[in-house]
Amino acid sequence: MEEVDVEPSTTLIPGAGFYQKHLGFEWGPGDLIVYETNYKLQGPRSAGSPSVHIVRRDEDICSPILRKLFSESHLIFVGLQKIKEDVFVSISKNYRSVIRACMEELQQNAGKRSHDTHPVSILLAIELIWNLCEVLFIDAAPAGSLLLQLLDWVRLHKSDVDAKAREVLQSDSPAQHQSYWDVISLVLQGRTDEARQVLSKQASLRAESSSVFKRMDGLLQTMPIFNPTGTQTLTEFEVKWRHWHEECDRCLQDNTFASNRHLETICKILVGDEDTLLEQKELLSTWYHFLVTRLLFTHPTIKPPDLHYYAQSSMNMFLGPRASPEPLDIILLSAFEFDLHQVIKDCSIALNNWWFVAHLTDLLDHCKLLQSHNLHFGSNLREFLVLEYASGLFTHHSLWQLAVDYFDHCPEFGRVYLELQIERVPLDTERKAIKVLRICEDRQMSEQVRSICKIMAKRALRNNRLGSALSWTIRAKDAAFATLISERFLQDYSNKGSFTDLDLLDNLGPAMLLSDSLTFLGKYREFHRLYGEKRFSEAARLLLSLMTAKIAPRSLWMTLLTDALPLLEQKEVKTDNSCFTVTQLPQ
């Protein structure tokens, strides 16, 4: 299949290009900075005050209501990855109901925010396409059911018919209502019972024409509808349908409805007269409604492989020679042609966000449809799209957490993408840093853990928060930095005469062993604590071991000796060992 070459669109940056012709740029998190410059480094200096421009994709990610779509579909996605049974149709319906909920909420708010109307129409299109894909690919309805499901599809997306019909029926004199004959819409949608109900209003009024209405009522009542769960085979249905069709045709030949042009029109519709159907363009409003109606009254037992022929011709007939199809039309046509790859590709191009193609393709992959449609790079395609979608989420200040699960389910590149992007999450607060850390720790991303802890430690150190710096350093397992911070602590002690962050120092535990200086710091503090608790012999033993271990920094040797002096005066302390050690200490 050929690549449809879509021309890239050009975006104009207001306020750039006036003084200087060149544009410089730099990638940011989810955006680009663009600025005027002159790479030739010669030529006119900049007369005005230059600006920089932050440019980002106009993405739906910014709408708070769409964010709900992202978080709820995330739950469905994660659930889908774990299931083993064939419940794909219901998962597809779940996704669609999430889309609908989002759409309704947007429509409710439509009055308040003008820039929400665009997403509404996008969501409508998305749901329309998804629904069709569900019918054709996931549910894979066979002949017979296929048409019924397509009818449902059309009815769902042209729901104003219900409202209109209700309005007519609830009015004082329905038969006099100006939209009365829009009952045709019901017929076009194959809703014969409801159509009969509306027509009965007319029948009760005019006695002379009641027989005509009764005749129409009869036709409508006897129209065969295939029952997929019933015992009737498709062939039997077809025979029955053909008889009924011939009966409708006979009515036309006999001019049964000649007295009422509306009923005559309805009869022509029942026999599937193309010209008559095309005359109902306004009521049908779309070529795919025309397609389904046409099939309903001419080929109700249409088989999936035959669909594309009727789709193409319906579109051509409906749109006429002058109108050209919209992107949505092309996508639907590709679906009717069972060209999955084209559907995905065209959706990727037409939509501003990867949400739709990523989730749909993932679902189709689970249904094993990508392989069966000769997409041997199928799972690569799925992963590619999911990675794109998740990467887009990552730039958002709260949605990035959802992205993590998506990366987890991309076996080839998910991990490395996550490693790259999680490092860049701004560590605004300790709480956020810990959240990021936990994600990395859960996945044994040790380098990212170390790096994040180091960044936090360094930041704490710059702001003179030694305790915080030390805990982060211990978490980073950074021995060199631990030494540095320990030395700072000791320096502080030398200057002030007391320790800070006692809680931390007293509870170092085995972390103390990270570096010699840290060990010394911990033990030295312990010495002071023992001394303070008057446990002199323990204190003395500890001090001794500190001196013998030679891990004390040089600057503190005098201090240690000074610390030893009062101990020597204590009666409980053994003096012989300490004298021996004191002489051993280098001068």
Partner 1 sequence: MFVAKSIAADHKDLIHDVSYDFHGRRMATCSSDQSVKVWDKGDDGEWHCTASWKTHSGSVWRVTWAHPEFGQVLASCSFDRTAAVWEEIVGESNDKQRGQSHWIKRTTLVDSRTSVTDVKFAPKHMGLMLTTCSADGVVRIYEAPDVMNLSQWSLQHEISCKLSCSCISWNPSSSRAHPPMIAVGSDDSNITYSGKVQIYEYNENTRKYAKAETLMTVTDPVHDITFAPNLGRSFHVLAIATKDVRIFKLIPMRRESANSSGPTKFEVQVMAQFDSHNSQVWRVSWNITSTLLASSGDDGCVRLWKANYMDNWKCTGILRGDGSPVNGSGHAAALSQIRSSLRESS
Residues from 59 through 118 that contact partner 1 (CB under 8 A): none
> To the nearest whole angstrom, how small is the minimum distance from the Cβ of residue 41 to partner 1?
7
Whichever of 288 and 417 has its CB closer to partner 1, that residue is 417
> To the nearest whole angstrom, how small is the minimum distance from the Cβ of residue 401 to partner 1?
16
CA distance 513 to 76: 46
Q: Does 253 bind partner 1 (CB under 8 A)?
A: no
Q: Does 565 bind partner 1 (CB under 8 A)?
A: no
Tokens standing for 102? Answer: 């989002």
Match 């076009």 to its residue by tokens: 188
Q: Which of 293, 314, 353, 421 binds partner 1 (CB under 8 A)?
A: 421
Q: Which of 28, 142, 228, 566 binds partner 1 (CB under 8 A)?
A: 28
Whichever of 33 and 502 has its CB closer to partner 1, that residue is 33
Q: Does 139 bind partner 1 (CB under 8 A)?
A: no
Q: Which of 66, 231, 282, 416 binds partner 1 (CB under 8 A)?
A: 416
Whichever of 53 and 299 has its CB closer to partner 1, that residue is 53
Q: Does 243 bind partner 1 (CB under 8 A)?
A: no
Q: Which of 1, 2, 14, 429 binds partner 1 (CB under 8 A)?
A: 14
Whichever of 19 and 244 has its CB closer to partner 1, that residue is 19
CA distance 302 to 144: 7
Q: Does 454 bind partner 1 (CB under 8 A)?
A: yes
Enumerate residues 6+ apart whose C-beta is below 8 A from 138: 88, 89, 92, 363, 364, 367, 369
Which region among 50-58, 130-138, 219-227, 317-325 touches partner 1 (by CB under 8 A)?
Answer: 50-58
From residue 314, alpha-carbon distances to 46, 221, 234, 332, 515 in Å are 60, 27, 25, 12, 78
Whichever of 317 and 330 has its CB closer to partner 1, that residue is 330
Q: Does 53 bind partner 1 (CB under 8 A)?
A: yes
From residue 236, alpha-carbon distances to 194, 246, 407, 548 in Å are 26, 16, 52, 101
Q: In this structure, are residues 65 and 102 in contact, taking their beta carbons and an 8 Å threshold?
A: yes
DSSP character string of 127-155: HHHHHHHIIIIIS---TTHHHHHHHHHHH
DSSP character string of 340-366: HHHHHHHHHHH-SSSHHHHHHHHHHHH
Q: Which of 1, 10, 255, 583 binds partner 1 (CB under 8 A)?
A: 10
Which region among 56-64, 224-232, 516-524, 533-541 touches partner 1 (by CB under 8 A)?
Answer: 56-64
Three-point CA angle 136, 140, 141, nearest 5°? 95
Q: In this structure, are residues 287 and 329 in contact, taking their beta carbons and an 8 Å threshold?
A: yes
> To the nearest whole angstrom, how small is the minimum distance from the Cβ of residue 480 to partner 1?
9
CA distance 54 to 34: 6
| H or E stretch covering 35 | strand 32-37
Q: Does 460 bind partner 1 (CB under 8 A)?
A: no
Whichever of 185 and 448 has its CB closer to partner 1, that residue is 448
- Total residues contacting partner 1 (rule CB under 8 A)? 76
Q: How far is CA 52 from the centre of its chain?
A: 31
Q: Does 22 bind partner 1 (CB under 8 A)?
A: yes
Buried b (16+ CB within 10 A) or exposed e, 251-272: bbeeebbeebeebbbbbbbbbb
Q: Does 446 bind partner 1 (CB under 8 A)?
A: no
Q: Does 568 bind partner 1 (CB under 8 A)?
A: no
Whichever of 36 and 194 has its CB closer to partner 1, that residue is 36
Q: Does 12 bind partner 1 (CB under 8 A)?
A: yes
46: left (phi over 0), alpha (psi -120 to 50) or beta: beta
Enumerate residues 6+ apart whose C-beta is below 8 A from 145: 226, 228
Residues in the chain: 587
> To the nearest whole angstrom, how small is the minimum distance from the Cβ of residue 23 to partner 1?
5
Buried b (16+ CB within 10 A) or exposed e, 56-70: eeebbbebebbbebb
Which region among 36-44, 140-148, 167-175, 546-554 touches partner 1 (by CB under 8 A)?
Answer: 36-44
Q: Where in 208-237 is the site for partner 1 (CB under 8 A)?
A: none
Tokens standing for 133? Answer: 């894909």
Three-point CA angle 79, 80, 86, nearest 5°? 125
Which region among 32-40, 242-250, 544-552, 554-562 touches partner 1 (by CB under 8 A)?
Answer: 32-40
> To the nearest whole angstrom, how small is the minimum distance from the Cβ of residue 192 to partner 1?
46
Q: Does 411 bind partner 1 (CB under 8 A)?
A: no
- Closest by Cα among 42, 48, 40 to 19: 48
Q: Where in 326-385 is the site for partner 1 (CB under 8 A)?
A: 352, 377, 380-381, 384-385
Which region among 141-149, 292-300, 422-430, 501-509 touches partner 1 (by CB under 8 A)?
Answer: 422-430
Whichever of 10 and 498 has its CB closer to partner 1, that residue is 10
- Site map for partner 1, 480-509, x if CB under 8 A? ----x-------------------------
Q: Where in 514-553 is the site for partner 1 (CB under 8 A)?
A: none
Q: Which of 1, 41, 207, 565 binds partner 1 (CB under 8 A)?
A: 41
